Each structure stands twice: as structure tokens, then as C-alpha cells.
């Protein structure tokens, strides 16, 4: 059994969790509190604080509130177990991906801008029915995107690093990309995926194809994407750099719809995260195996 305090953001603190210290964003705990912490939940996107791991001498477990874990790895002390929030954000992220595709193809983003000047501009949009979609990343987000697109009459194909039932290997991308109407990026950021979408990748996309990134911004080489616009279009919930500076060329690039990394952040997130954190703390304290381990035991 493991002992020690739990350090968790106040809005993610499960009800009735004993020996739990809640903190507000940007509020650094004192040394006495840090010395007691065995289980740490970093803050969410707006105020990430993975560097706190180095201040917690008795740390055993880090439970991230995100599915992505790349930002935490450089701060993870030896011997500490790192878990992500698989199961918390996938549905919401898939909803954003599919909703953004519909918004772009049906001109909803353009119509919203037209409203500000009272312009009525009827244009024919594109339908998802029979559209071909290549979804790169066959985890929780990718599979939910595929299910939603199937329900709307599209023809999705999942692509993973290796082949399995319903999933084609990444080696087949040169054959898949040239015939795709939509390409969705739903991969974790790793040494393999960083910069994966470069000029060579983008050059394989057909004219008018729609690239959707709900993974991490640096999966795409931003300058290479800018060079391909508006031959192709892009929906970006994540960008590189992030946050995107006001003067950046992507803001005014033709054929681009940008959202500020909101994929997993819905009103379902705090509830699901609290449930996961509570379950993980109970497992940790009882010696039961932890869920969603990405580094460590």
C-alpha cells in the first residue's frame, strides 16, 4: 500500500478523497506540503506545471489530466509512474473534429463572419456522404472520429503504425493520401510523429483536400503547410507555435479554420477527470495496478 498526500487542481478534486491537497492555478505549495505528496495531478492546458515534479521528493505517481504526455516526460523523475487521461477527452475531441469538418465544408465559419456585416450569401457546400477520410491514429480519438464519420455516410479508413483488424499500416499512406477528401491527424506526439506532415506528405494530398489536426501542433511542419495553402484546406485545433502569436501568417491564411486547442475541454471533462483521479488514487493506495500507464510500472 502507498501513503502520502494527493496534490490536485481544485477544479479536479474528487469529492471525499482523504489526505488531498487542492491548489489553484499558479499557486505553488509550500515545502512542507510538497514533502508529503506521493500522487500529483498537474494543472490543465492554461497553466501547465509539470516542473513541480522536481519539487516533490516522495512522489510516486503523476496522473495527467490530458491524453497527451509529451510535455511531462522531460520533467518526470526516475522511478515515478506516469499515467495519462485516456478515456476522458476522446469523445469530445472527436466531436470537435467532425463538427469542424462540417463547419468548414458547409460554410458555417464563413456565414458566422457574414453575420457581423448582415450579408446573406447562399453557397452550395460539400457533403460528408461518400467522402473518403484517412484517419491517422487508431486510438481512442481516431476510432471515435471514424465511427462518427461512418454514421454520417463518409468512408473512413483508420491508419496505425502497424496493421490490425480495420487498421491499415502507415506504410500504405502513399497510396491512401492522394485519394483522400479528408485527412485527420489523431496521433500522439513522439519522435516518429513530430514533423510527420511535411512538404513530402502534403504534396501527396489532392487539390481541395481537407487536413484536420487534433493531435499536436508540431506533428505538422507549419511553414510547409503554409506553402500548400490554399491548394489544400486545414482545420487546426493545435498549432506550432502554440499559442499562435497574433501576427502569425496562419491567422490570415486562406482555407484555414483555427480553434484554440479546445478539443477535449468540454463540460464533460471535469467530471470524467475527477472519476479517473479518484479511481487511480484508490488503486495507488491499495497497491492495485494503475490504469493508463505510459511510463513506469
Residues assigned a catalytic role:
216, 261
Helix (H) or strand (E) holding 222: helix 222-228
Peptide bond into 289 cis (omega under 30): no
* Number of residues that make up the chain: 297
Q: At what angle do helices 140-151 and 90-105 cross, to 10 degrees?
A: 40
Q: Kindly give the pairing relationship between strand 37-40 and strand 5-9.
A: parallel
Using CA atoms, how far apart are residues 36 and 29, in angstroms rounded to an integer?
A: 11
Using CA atoms, how far apart are residues 233 and 230, in angstroms rounded to an integer?
A: 6
Using CA atoms, how far apart are residues 192 and 266, in angstroms rounded to an integer?
A: 29
Strand partners, 185: 136, 213
The DSSP line for 22-40 is EE-TT-PPPHHHHHHEEEE
Amino acid at each position: 500500500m502507498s501513503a502520502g498526500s494527493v496534490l490536485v487542481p481544485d477544479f479536479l478534486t474528487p469529492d471525499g478523497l482523504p489526505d488531498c491537497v487542492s491548489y489553484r492555478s499558479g499557486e505553488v505549495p509550500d515545502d512542507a506540503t510538497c514533502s508529503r505528496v506521493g500522487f500529483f495531478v498537474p494543472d490543465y492546458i492554461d497553466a501547465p506545471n509539470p516542473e513541480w515534479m522536481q519539487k516533490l521528493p516522495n512522489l510516486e505517481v503523476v496522473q495527467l489530466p490530458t491524453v497527451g504526455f509529451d510535455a511531462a516526460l522531460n520533467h518526470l523523475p526516475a522511478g515515478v509512474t506516469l499515467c495519462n487521461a485516456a478515456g476522458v477527452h476522446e469523445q469530445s475531441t472527436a466531436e470537435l473534429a467532425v463538427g469542424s469538418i462540417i463547419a468548414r465544408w458547409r460554410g458555417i465559419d464563413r456565414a458566422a463572419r457574414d453575420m457581423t456585416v448582415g450579408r446573406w450569401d447562399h453557397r452550395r457546400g460539400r457533403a460528408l456522404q461518400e467522402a473518403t477520410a484517412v484517419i491517422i491514429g487508431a486510438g481512442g480519438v481516431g476510432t471515435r472520429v471514424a465511427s462518427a464519420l461512418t454514421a454520417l455516410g463518409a468512408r473512413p479508413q483508420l491508419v496505425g503504425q502497424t496493421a490490425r483488424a480495420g487498421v491499415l499500416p502507415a506504410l500504405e499512406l502513399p497510396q491512401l493520401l492522394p485519394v483522400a477528401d479528408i485527412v485527420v491527424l489523431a496521433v500522439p506526439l513522439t519522435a516518429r510523429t513530430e514533423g510527420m506532415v511535411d512538404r513530402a506528405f502534403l504534396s501527396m494530398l489532392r487539390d481541395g483536400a481537407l487536413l484536420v489536426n487534433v493531435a499536436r501542433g508540431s506533428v505538422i511542419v507549419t511553414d510547409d503547410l503554409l506553402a500548400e495553402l490554399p491548394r489544400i484546406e486545414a482545420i487546426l485545433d493545435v498549432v506550432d507555435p502554440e499559442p499562435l502569436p497574433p501576427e502569425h501568417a496562419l491567422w490570415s491564411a486562406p482555407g484555414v479554420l483555427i480553434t484554440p486547442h479546445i478539443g477535449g475541454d468540454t463540460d464533460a471533462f471535469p467530471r470524467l477527470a475527477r472519476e479517473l483521479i479518484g479511481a487511480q488514487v484508490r488503486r495507488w493506495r491499495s497497491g492495485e495496478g494503475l490504469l493508463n500507464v505510459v511510463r513506469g510500472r
